[in-house]
Structure 1
Amino acid sequence: MTDVIPGRGQYTEEARLRRLEWLRGRTGAAMPSAEKTGFDARALTGNLENFVGSVEVPVGLAGPLLFDGRAAQGGIVAPLATTEGALIASASRGARAITDSGGVTTRVLSQRMSRAPVFEFADMATALRFADWLRSVRPQLDEQVALVSRHARLIDVDPYQIGRYLHVRCVFETADAAGQNMTTAATWQICRWLTEALHDQDSLRPERMMLDGNLSSDKKVSAVSMLAGRGSRVTAETRISADVVAAVLKSDPAVMVRAHTATVMGAQQAGMVGYGINAVNIVAALFVATGQDIASVHESGVSILSLELDGPDLLATILLPNLVIGTVGGGTALPHQREWLTALGCAGDGGAERFAEIVAGFALALDVSTAAAMVSGQFADAHRRLGRARPVEWLLKADLNAAYLRPPLARCLADPGLVVESVTLAPELHGDGIASELGALGERRKLTGLLPMTVHWTAGDGTPVTADLVAKIKPRGEDLIAGIAMVASRCGREVAQAWDQWGGESDFAGTHRREPAVYRRREPPLTALLPRCFGIVEDDSREAYVILMERLVHTPGPWDSERIDRALRGIGAVHGHWLGRDQQLIAEGWLHRGAGGSHLAKAGELWEALARYNAAEHPGLIGAERRDLLLGAAGSVGFWDQELEAMPRTLVHNDFNQRNVTVADGRLIAYDWELATVDVPQRDVAELLAFTLGPDASEAAVEHHLEVHRDAVAAVSPAATGLVAGADWRRGYHLSLRKLLLSRLQLYTAAHAHREFAFLPAVLDSAFHLWEIEARRDAE
């Protein structure tokens, strides 16, 4: 094997694949992802050498942000290429605050690119004479620049003498190009002309010359660039009203300004060049997306941020003095990068000024949002991780092999002689709903979600078996609660503090224990409703909680009255089996029940905080009337929840809606039992009806479905029949509906600002409509 990279200077797909094969042989790395690339090798001439593959960086959308610039006008959405979580969400939050207050004003103050050759002379006097002579030939220098570029314009020639060395800072305007290459060519032409012009003049001729002596600060942060500018010098300003700061940024202008003063002093102590928070995040993300020179991020990300009070409001400005950008040339011509520039309205000639204003506007939006998060504690909450006293060897996808799966399969199937022959995993892990997503927020390093697989095994009697399974890999309850805490931290101090106090006792505690416990049970009413389970893994040392279950083929169909009744009969049999035996279930230790009374009543301040936040954040979902209903229910929860707690209780699914209930192969299946708990049986009915009936449901339809469910519960046993007969069934449903709206649906609504739930608007309309039906009945 040769140690020379093959195909040097060849821009063909064949040469690329030869290089890739050479690299595989040299490193032993398989590199399957490098096999595929969206680039045409022939189009990369001049962009890079030894092309072998590409790296895909995800692009997300931030904004829209309302601009009032010279070139950038109206609402603009920015494509940000990044892998940093919360960056786009934070930039979008800042954009919303600025837009709600009238927008951001942006201006490009100047555009400069410099190159600074250094000349060495025989002595200091010769260097001084050369500097004087250089000023006298300025017209000739302009002529030399015109020979190599139609776009570059020499606007300044500044000599800086250090003994016998003379650094000459040549400053150009470069139109819509970033200009590094353009100014290099123009400066080299100037140097060639100077050398030829002084060939016979010993009193002026330099002894040696170098194209750049580092005074230009190319791709470096420097004081000269801060003062004189390099690239586009662009500024942005906004005035954010105190009301918007409170409603959107969850902070206070005076608090933000005081904190800003303290951090400026810290920056001065550290010797920071400029002052900013994280404008470079926007610079880097837009540079990657649009094909800018990534090496210029260092100097381009320097900023000066100012936060001041303007009466009660916040006045925020930012200056980016060294934004090295272009909309022609270089990587901006590559197809993906060109598309994002085009989407911004910045591609090609005339786009650089608009692009600079967009960068500055979004940089200000991100800094304002981050400043608010820092002073309100959201920044720490959004980046926190659960403390662990020991290192954890996380479960990996590769661990789900034949050796790992044999023990749980053998235990569950009661076949100690079972041998797993092979396991074929799907290429991708799929999310399994809201709980998995929230758990991933709380602990991103862990493998969670649904992994389809095909498993071949030989039973103890020699029978070969092939099964299509799904491994449901669960997050810990603590991870889920921490994920919700991250969402709560973005909802302001009131919601965040209330969640910190009461979230640990919520329905989400211990979820990783509950679902495996459900699948271990053997009661026929429950097993008839569950997917078939093939194995369970609970490994606390690795925080690995896995359920192996059948892979279901769902039968689609509308949720009409017949299907709702079928679901209610299925869950009603489960309710009837355990009705009145809730203490027995609690004593088994696998169901979460907070000690010292109902969590719903104790956490009243959380439900009130959520009602206020949701009404402010989602007025179209939670208007003033709905907010007042929720606040009233939260204020009186200590009374009506006692009534609910006194009613007959049973095992409930506690997440019983059409997202977790289906018909597969003619069977009614309910899955995702991680929130299972003890409650009144009407709890599952209230949720299913809220998700399926719609906002036009009649009282008669509600009465019908309640009757179907009540009959299904009573039919299970004489004990269940007696408890149903002695209970106010409709009242239990009414209070369960109130509980659903006050707690679970409020949490969904708060999260809706950060992760869109397409189902939520219709469910809220339906749930409040059902509440109105019950309120009218009570009033009659």
Structure 2
Amino acid sequence: MDYQIVPGRGIVSETGNNLRLQYISQQGLKLSLIPQTHILPEQIRNNIESFVGSVEIPLGLVGPLLYNNAGKAEYVHALAGTLEGALIASMNRGAKAISQCGGFSASVIHQKMVRTPMFIFESLSESIVFKQWVEENYQKIKNKAEEYSNHAKLTDILPYVIGKSVHLKFVYTTGDATGQNMTTTCTWHAILWIQKHFEQEKKIDITHFVVEGNGASDKKVSGFSINHGRGIHVVAECNLSEEVINKTLRTTSKDIVRCFNQSQAMSRIDGMVGYNINVANAIAAIFVATGQDLGSIHESSCGILNVEKTDEGLYLSLNLPTLVIGTIGGGTNMPRQKEALDLMDCYGSGNLSR
């Protein structure tokens, strides 16, 4: 059977859209609502291929939430996209309780993005020679990688030798961008330089190499990312009074701690990675609204929640060690997604830590 080519697959334009919609109709298929979109092809030329329309996801308003930022208290609002009933109501209940108790504070521990190219050799001895050569030439590799971005800065290369293969963890900071694409470009040019100069100097052939050997845990949960960082590592904290826990959350601090501790024991038996009370719901909803990479929702949702009983009620802290987000680039440049970021005063350069 001949494989049919969808017309205009590489063309994101009104003409290309019409050709694809005609093709769909010729297949006996029907799209009537999806092509009715406010999105103009020129707005998303670098964001999608084979564009035919869009679906709408309703956005709910979350807030006000009292945020204590560098000694300044302010109320913030956010938009969250979801089709899950009660999610926005739950988020707003939490925002109310936190605000009634003085708000929350947060600190960014670090921002990183990782790419891990893999190099294959004929023997372990060749792998060892390569590892040592990379360590000796770190500054030259760094200079080459940073030639291809105004934002990406290479801070480390961590070599891992596994038999005949060597995996190099290129660790970058990437400013206010998520940095997944820019670090791929930087790393690709760096490994081309590595191949040329290593083979010339050591007279050893690299059998094969790839720009990503899965060591970056890209869009995956891993112990390395949690312990060493991928994306933003942020920690937030708040205190809840017994009165607010009773009236707003309609429970008690004693019951929360009892259930939290017992369920945490079960999570250890299951080998759960990242114990929290479903932060993925909120993160996914905000990712949708603000143009983030939806493929990174699950790794970004690897939160570690801590709950402590205090004389006044509860102290809570939440670690998000792998929050893969950006305030520039990618989907954040779309008009409505940009507006959602602007609502939080988060769009643009210099706002990633916020």
Q: How does 1:608-647 map to 2 (within 5 A)?
A: none
Partners of 1:77 and 1:94 in 2: CA distance:
13
Structure 2 distance, partners of 1:16, 1:71, is 51
CA separation of 1:254 and 1:312: change in aligned 2, threshold 3 A:
farther
Contact 1:70 1:107 in 2 (8 A): no
For structure 1, list consecutive stretches of 5 or more residues without a partner in the other structure.
Answer: 355-780
CA deviation after TM superposition for structure 1 residue 7, in Å: 1.4
Deviation at 1:70, TM superposition (A): 4.5
Aligned-residue CA RMSD in angstroms?
1.6
Deviation string 1:363-389 (CA, Å, 9 cap, x unpaired) is xxxxxxxxxxxxxxxxxxxxxxxxxxx
Alignment of 1:258 with 2:263, yes or no, is no
Query: How far is the alpha carbon of 1:226 from its aligned partner?
Result: 0.7
Report the count of equivalent residues. 353
Structure 1 pair 333/256, CA: closer, same or farther in 2 (3 Å)? same
Whole-Å Cα distance in 2 between the matches of residues 310 and 169 of structure 1?
Answer: 42
Paired residue type of 1:169: K
Aligned match of 1:10: 11
SS in 1 for 2:147: helix
Distance in structure 2 (CA, Å) of the matches to 1:309 and 1:151: 43
Distance 1:113 1:153 in 2: 10
- Closer/same/farther in 2, CA of residues 2 and 230 from structure 1, 3 Å limit: closer
Structure 1 residue 28 displacement after superposition:
2.7
Give the match for residue 344 of structure 2. 344
Unaligned runs of 5+ in 2: none
Q: Superposition pairs for residues 299-698 of structure 1, below 5 Å?
A: 299-354=299-354
Change in Cα spacing, 1:120 to 1:100, as seen in structure 2 (3 Å) is same
> Whose relative contact order is higher, 1 or 2, with alpha carbons under 8 Å and at least 6 apart?
2
SS at match of 2:353: helix
Residue 85 (str. 1) matches residue 80 (str. 2): no
Q: Which residue of 2 aligns with 1:135?
A: 135
Q: Is the 8 A contact 2:307 2:316 kept in 1?
A: yes
State the one-letter code of the partner of 2:153: R
Counterpart of 1:125 in structure 2 is: 125
2:295 aligned with 1:295: yes
For residues 185 and 72 of structure 1, the distance between their equivalents in structure 2, rounded to whole angstroms, comes to 39
- 1:2 deviates by 8.6
Paired with 2:26 and 2:339, the residues of 1 have a C-alpha distance of: 36
The answer (yes or no) to whether the contact 2:80–2:286 under 8 Å persists in 1 is yes
CA distance in 2, matches of 1:24, 1:211: 40
* 1:251-302 Cα shifts (integer Å, max 9, x gaps): 1111101111011111111111111111111111111101111001011111
AA matched with 1:25:
Q
Alignment partners' CA distance in 2, 1:24 and 1:288: 30
Q: Distance in 1 between matches of 2:72 and 2:66?
A: 9
2-side partners of 1:27 and 1:206: how far apart? 51
Shift of 1:205: 4.3
For residues 77 and 157 of structure 1, the distance between their equivalents in structure 2, rounded to whole angstroms, comes to 39
1:119 is paired with a residue of what secondary structure? strand
The answer to whether 1:96 aligns with 2:123 is: no
Corresponding residue for 1:109?
109
Q: Which amino acid aligns with 1:290?
A: T
Which is strand-richer, 1 or 2?
Answer: 2
Aligned mates of 2:111, 2:35 — CA distance in 1 = 41
Contact kept in structure 2, 1:129 and 1:204, CA below 8 Å? no
Output the CA distance in 2 between the equivalents of 1:34 and 1:20.
Answer: 10
Query: Which digits, 9 at most, give the CA deviation of each residue in 1:673-701, with x for residues without a partner?
Result: xxxxxxxxxxxxxxxxxxxxxxxxxxxxx
> Which structure features the higher share of helix residues?
1
Secondary structure of 1:143's counterpart equals: helix
Q: Note if contact 1:226-1:321 (Cα within 8 Å) is conserved in structure 2.
A: yes
Structure 1 match to 2:225: 225
Cα distance change on mapping 1:70 and 1:26 into 2, 3 Å: farther
Question: Which whole-Å CA distance do the structure 2 matches of 1:203 and 1:247 have between them?
Answer: 73
Q: Percent identity?
A: 38
Q: Which residue of 2 aligns with 1:608?
A: none
| Offset, 1:129 | 1.8
Preserved CA contact (<8 Å) 1:12 1:41? yes
* 1:51 and 2:51 correspond: yes
> In the superposition, relative to structure 1, how do residues 28 and 207 fare at CA in structure 2: closer, same or farther (>3 Å)?
closer
The match for 2:24 is 23
Which amino acid is 1:9 matched to?
A: G
Moved >4 Å (runs of 4+): 70-73, 202-205
Q: Distance in 2 between matches of 1:186 and 1:310?
A: 49
**Distance in structure 2 (CA, Å) of the matches to 1:250 and 1:204:** 68
